[in-house]
Amino acid sequence: MKKLKDIHLKGSQQEIMTKVLTGSDIEDILSSKFMNQIEFIGDDYVQIINNDSLDVFNYLKIDQKYDLLSSVTSVDRISHFEVVYHLTSLQKNESMVVKIKCGEDRINPNLKSVVSVWRGAELQEREIYDLMGIMFEGHPNMKRLLLWENFEGHPLRKDFVS
């Protein structure tokens, strides 16, 4: 039985599903220019260090043709936060996941905004700020999106008490 990400045949026609890159595949793409930026390689993602992350994302968009930012989300790991980027190359029909740790010991979680690379990140970064408290440096309009301005705290944090 073939997996969804494999090639499926319908009669004489081929349908090709988007290839989901493994951590090793992503490492191969980044290793020529950004090997020192890779912090961890997972089964289906890479984790990069927070410094110079915009250089990595610009390289992925411009040189490697990952032109679509499918989503940006965040995870509260108690000891730190992670921001997770899902990128897609429409030209290559591939997708990848890149993660960045921030806010070790839950203090001052922040990283650079990718709005200058993918305009579609604007509202997603604001939502992450609003609900998780992660600041995005260089964001053009970093303010709450879903909750009112005087709301106390960030309700998706594991330590949030209502």
> Over the stretch 131-144, which tens digit does the pLDDT of each residue have?
999 999 999 999 99
What pTM does this model have? 0.89
pLDDT of residue 13: 44
Q: What is the pLDDT of residue 107?
A: 86
Query: How confident is the chain (162 residues) per 10-residue block, as mean pLDDT?
Result: 50 69 98 95 97 95 98 96 98 97 91 97 98 97 95 94 76
pLDDT score, position 15: 60
Residue 128, φ and ψ in degrees, nearest 5: -60, -45
Count Cβ atoms below 10 Å from residue 122 Cβ, excluding itself. Answer: 19
